[in-house]
Chain A
Amino acid sequence: MVAVKCAVAGLFCLFLALSAGAQSRVIEVLADKDSHFKIAGQSKPEITVKAGEPVMLKISARKGKTWNRDGTVHGFTLLRRKDHVKVSGWDLELRPGTQEFTLTAPSEPGEYEVLCTVICSEDHEGMRMKFVVLP
């Protein structure tokens, strides 16, 4: 009887997890070879999410002029703008091609910044993007 209860509970948890995944908003980003983050339809890329919102980042990365020895071509790291503290879980390493990341937006509303953490060209320092968390 206990085994049956555990199985039912497990299936329920699986159902909840799948439901949560299905509800995640998909945000597509291009980490381009010219050391710029790009989002289709935006001349100046910016991501806006709600605090604690589950999101699926679908990031395509293209190799710039330089890259890391392990094959990482760009980084996608989220920092809180006011004090440059890294947001836990938002320190992504990008390899050429498309990768998907299921993440939860920061719980604290405010302005954040996405930075590339791989020296990808002479323009690496400018590879950044505004990220806003709404209450």
Chain B
Amino acid sequence: MNCKAKTAALSLVLFLAAYSFAKDKPKDSVITLQGSITDSQCAFNVHSETHSHEWMIKRGVQNASDDKSCTLHCVKDMGGSYVLVVKKEIYRLDDQVKAELFAGKNVKASGTLDAKSHTLHIFDIQEDK
């Protein structure tokens, strides 16, 4: 076998190996979720059966008078992070800057889900009016 034939054969083997690997690897599918952007503290806590800010607002916590202000307070002043609450499911969000724009609002967010960390990698997020 001459040198060109060897190179061609090697290229073919590499191509087939790469193709086979790519074919078997599951692709992350894009999902769209409808829910509200809230803070991790209110969302994860047992006091909040509805994953809402009701408990904080009822207690008259300073800077927490409605959904938006409570979300911003818990993240900016108290070290929390923005999350997406869909019914009783809570998704962590990779893009905290984008999420902040919708603090306390209902949104439609699309992206891929990292099942292990339950984190949504946001592609697009829009207010759901």
Contact = CB atoms under 8 A, between A and B. Distances in A.
The majority secondary structure among interface residues of chain A is loop
A117 B39 CA distance: 10
A119 to B, nearest CB: 4
Number of chain A interface residues as a range: 10 to 19
Given A117-B41, A118-B41, A68 B79 contact: no
B80 A68 contact: no
A72 B56 CA distance: 19
Contact of B79 (A67, A72, A86, A122): A86
B72 to A, nearest CB: 11
A106 interface: no
Interface string A62-95: 0000111110100101010000101000010000
A29 to B, nearest CB: 16
A132 interface: no
Contacts of A75: 79
A131 B47 CA distance: 29
A95 B40 CA distance: 16
B77 interface: yes
Contact of B61 (A79, A118, A125): A125
B102 interface: no
A102 B78 CA distance: 23
Interface string B14-44: 0000000000000000000000000011101
A117 B76 contact: no
A125 B44 contact: no
B78 A117 contact: yes
B46 A117 contact: no
B81 to A, nearest CB: 8
Nearest to B47: A66
A35 to B, nearest CB: 13
Interface in A109-123: 115, 117-119, 122
A4 B44 CA distance: 51
Contacts of A68: 44-46
Contact of B44 (A70, A79, A84, A86): A70
Nearest to B76: A84
Contacts of B42: 119
9 contacts: A67-B45, A68-B44, A68-B45, A68-B46, A70-B44, A72-B44, A86-B79, A117-B40, A118-B44
